[in-house]
Structure 1
Amino acid sequence: MKTIRINKSLIVGVLVAVMLSACATSKDFLSENFARVRNTHQRIAILPFDVQFENPSNRSTDNTNLKFSKQEREASLDAQKEMFTYVARQVQKGHYEIAFQDFTRTNKVLSDNGIKLEDIARQNKADIAKLLGVDAVISGDLAIRITQIDRRSPQMLPVYRNNDGVETNVKLFDAASGEMLWSTTLSQRPNNQMDTPHHLSSQLIEQVAKHLPYRTK
């Protein structure tokens, strides 16, 4: 019988490479003031995400006149809704002892005050928080780069460019001071046909929702 020898170090190396390519996390930032103001936060709002697709056809190159494309607009609201849904689950599980403003309420207040989706990123977050009647706001952005090459690998898997993937940066701002209290950056590269931009974004947002600095257990 032929004996097959397995190189354990090679297997470990491959597994590590797969894990690193699947999801990379930057170190979280946490303000020294967070512990002091944490107990003053009772209600938090999640803002629509600032979404940018690579080479979007409808986005103006003039930074003073940015306009979301239909695709970016839908992705912005989808990310906000998913974030709210995920944090609501964490509250139900007892992981957070704070309230999150319903995203539909947040969007109505923003709309009633003439604040467009593409304007949110440039707005003062303390002013928005006070407008929404919350103690803090969560602001996030998504950079989506999926430019799959048509050709297939010998294993019939799609081939992606080296910089393809989705990255999200999420920040928490205090209403009283406007200070950024916490931030995290997550990125993930596509590995198979199931890794659509929405799928990758949803995975990253879920991870963020599970690791907000308010977690009690």
Structure 2
Amino acid sequence: MKTIQINKSLIAVALLTVILSACASSNDFLSENFARVRNTHQRIAILPFDVQFENPLNVQNGAKRPQFFSKQEREASLDAQKELFAYAARQVQKGRYEIAFQDFTKTNKVLSENGIKLEDIARQNKADLAKLLGVDAVIFGDLAIRITQMNMRSPQMMPFNRNNDGVETNVKLFDAVSGEMLWSTNLTQRPSNPMDTPHHLSSQLIEQVAKHLPYRTK
């Protein structure tokens, strides 16, 4: 009977370890000026994300990043933007934020009309983009999706615990007036089982970002 109890305890510890290792870890920054400018922010735009699918082995070998987004990166960029908007809007509906988020389709229309490509957004001055979009601040993030070895049966699946494979996102908030970065969060998540996909892990991180934007009222 004791043996069974010990085994159950060991199993519980093992499961807890796996769960904790799979959970996203974060590192947040908040500017001292945020409290001063927070009340001046009424409408925020979420920009398409900067996305890179990378093989850590290629990075170690000095491979350069392509100048233009691949089709996969372009889709992931827009998916991350759309998901953050949806998750953030849900927080507004729940009364946790008293701000408005510009519809992502309007954001993208304005960017397109002004000749701003997805792969160029990272290099653009964020205050200028905020003014162009007619908002008080913009949120911009990047996604690094690390895949050492693709699953040949299903290329969408993540390898299981290989060479720090997983997804990392860094999301930042920029003020339209000063251009200052007021807040940022860095989140990482590794696959917890062979069925995890890059989109699933990215979506989990984006949801966490939406829940912890610095405008939370409760």
- Both structures adopt the same fold (TM-score exceeding 0.5): yes
Which residues of structure 2 form unaligned runs of 5+?
Answer: 56-62, 153-158
The residue identity in structure 2 corresponding to 1:111 is S
User: If the length of structure 1 is used for normalisation, what is the TM-score?
Assistant: 0.87
Which letter does structure 1 place at the counterpart of 2:111?
A: L
Question: Segments of 4+ in structure 1 off by > 4 A?
Answer: 7-13, 148-151
How far off is 1:148 after superposition? 4.2
Task: Give me the whole-angstrom Cα distance separating, in 2, the residues matched to 1:140 and 1:92.
Answer: 23
Task: State the Cα distance separating 1:145 from its structure 2 match.
Answer: 1.0
Please, which runs of 5 or more residues in structure 1 have no aligned partner?
Answer: 56-60, 152-157
**2:85 aligned with 1:84, yes or no?**
yes
Per-residue displacement from partner, 1:169-199 (whole Å, max 9, x unpaired)? 0000000000000000111111213310000
Counterparts in 2 of 1:41 and 1:7: CA distance versus 1, 3 Å: same
Tell me, yes or no, if the aligned pair for 1:141 and 1:168 is still in contact at 8 Å. yes
In the alignment, what sits opposite 1:154?
none
Work out whether residues 137 and 174 of structure 2, in 8 Å CA contact, stay in contact via their aligned partners in 1: yes
Instruction: Report the secondary structure of 1:105's partner residue.
Output: helix
Residue of structure 1 equivalent to 2:22: 22
My pick for the range that moved more, 118-127 or 5-14, is 5-14
Partner of 1:44, secondary structure, is strand
> What is the count of residue pairs matched by the alignment?
207
Q: Normalized against structure 2, the TM-score is what?
A: 0.86
Alignment of 1:161-200 (within 5 A): 161-200=162-201
User: What SS class does the counterpart of residue 6 from structure 1 fall into?
Assistant: helix
CA RMSD of aligned residues (A): 2.5
Which residue does the alignment assign to 2:67? 66
Bigger mean CA deviation after superposition, 79-88 or 139-148: 139-148
Measure, in 1, the Cα distance between the counterparts of 2:68 and 2:45.
23
Partners of 1:198 and 1:3 lie apart in 2 by 41
Deviations 1:109-151 (A, max 9, x none): 0011110000000100000000000000000000001234669
Tell me the distance in 2 between the aligned counterparts of 1:105 and 1:78: 15
- 1:88, 1:173 → 2: CA distance? 19
Using the aligned pairs only, state the percent identity.
Answer: 84
* Offset of residue 159 of structure 1: 3.8
> For the Cα contact (< 8 Å) 2:160–2:191, is it kept in 1?
no
Superposed counterparts of 1:133-148, under 5 Å: 133-148=134-149
